[in-house]
Structure 1
Amino acid sequence: MTPTGIEFLASFVRTGRLHGIGIGSTLDEAGRAVRHRFVDVVDEGGESLRRDHGFVELYFNPVPGGGWVMSGGSIELHRLAPGHGAAQEWARTTGVGFPRHVAWETLRAELARVPGTPELTVGDQGGFLEHRAAASGVSVIVVDDEEEERGCHPGHGDVWSVSLWGPVPAR
């Protein structure tokens, strides 16, 4: 059964894995796991590569001897709010459908429903709250400005982004 966007996000928060890849995955592994159009952007010094799939971005660092290894990633849910078809295109190529807006309450309920959710610590990010799962290396950024209303951008209580961070494990 194909997961919904909410189930997909909850799995990502629990495991730190996105379509089976995570910190330490190679560029080739990412290409096999995420079969969606992309643009690769390498910084001027060749020290980082960003694979931009639209509202999903994967970050890579070079490895000695050549190649790239995944160092992080981000699901930029705020890019879905304008409703320009990014979610529909992602659903066609990956099988995972996302709504225009994702309420933190909905994601939190899904996290509570399935065992194995790591402990979340909350920090203030100036108009946003960061719910950080240190065990999986994932942060959920939630709009915390009560004046923000849903529309062409997430409103109060909506998830802005979900990001993977952490040190690259030895391979």
Structure 2
Amino acid sequence: MDLAGALEELKFTIGPGFRKGSDMRVAFTEFLAEQIRASSLLGLRRGASLVDVARAVGGNAFVDDPDRRGISMRRDYGLVEFGFDSDPIHGWVCFSAILQLHRLRWETAIPNSIRERVMAVPAVVPLGDLRKALMSQGGSLVKRDDQRFSDFDYYSVAGSGSRISVLTENDDEMLVANSVWSISLW
């Protein structure tokens, strides 16, 4: 393998935003902002295979939830959910990646591949903190007009295919209004 190929393989293996060494980890909201702006997760993008996802996320703590016809499947890693369509030539092909931030309160829901990249993982991500991290990286939140449910506001980031769902009212004592519920990366 030539140097360019080796560098590309290394880039895929460690993903964007990874800084080797515990003192080089980023704040969780900075990690989220990097993934949102890139419309990727751990180097994965729309069209990734099941093997690519398993390699990037790691571990075997997941639940596969196929539909009855075997046409689509949800792979749930706790904090992260991937949606797959069955393709007769390519096998399972990823069509969605969602960070279910409302699950952060359960520490076991956070894959090590994410935990290794961040300094600390909060139990809740306030919208203001995510907005600040995005702005520090040149991004900005735009409220979407397609508000489907009264208890959520939806935001996007220019140049990104990501969709951010934010609570508009208290869900419980921890998840309060303006807490980020989930981030659909693609």
Q: Is the pair's TM-score, using the shorter chain for normalization, greater than 0.5?
A: yes
Which residue number corresponds to residue 25 of structure 2? 2
The percent of aligned pairs where both chains have the same amino acid is 33
Which residue number corresponds to residue 156 of structure 1? 177
Counting matched residue pairs gives 158
Q: Which runs of 5+ in 2 are unaligned?
A: 1-23
Which residue number corresponds to residue 53 of structure 2? 30
Q: Please state which structure has a larger fraction of its residues in helix.
A: 2
Residues 92 and 65 of structure 1, relative CA distance in 2, 3 Å threshold: closer
Aligned counterparts, 1:2-151, within 5 A: 2-36=25-59, 37-80=61-104, 83-86=105-108, 89-91=110-112, 94-95=115-116, 96=118, 97-115=120-138, 117=139, 120-123=142-145, 124=147, 125-133=149-157, 135-145=159-169, 148=170, 151=173
Amino acid paired to 1:107: L
Structure 1: distance between partners of 2:26 and 2:66: 32
Structure 1: distance between partners of 2:141 and 2:179: 20
Q: TM-score, normalised by structure 2?
A: 0.75
Q: Which runs of 4+ in 1 moved over 6 A?
A: none
Q: Which runs of 5+ in 1 are unaligned?
A: 166-171
Q: TM-score, normalised by structure 1?
A: 0.81
SS of equivalent residue, structure 1 residue 105? helix
Structure 1: distance between partners of 2:165 and 2:141: 15
Deviations along 1:48-72, whole A, 9 cap, x unmatched? 1111101211111112324111100
- Which entry has the higher C-alpha Rg, 1 or 2? 2
RMSD between superposed Cα atoms in Å: 2.2
**Which has the higher relative contact order, 1 or 2, with Cα contacts under 8 A spaced 6 or more apart?**
1
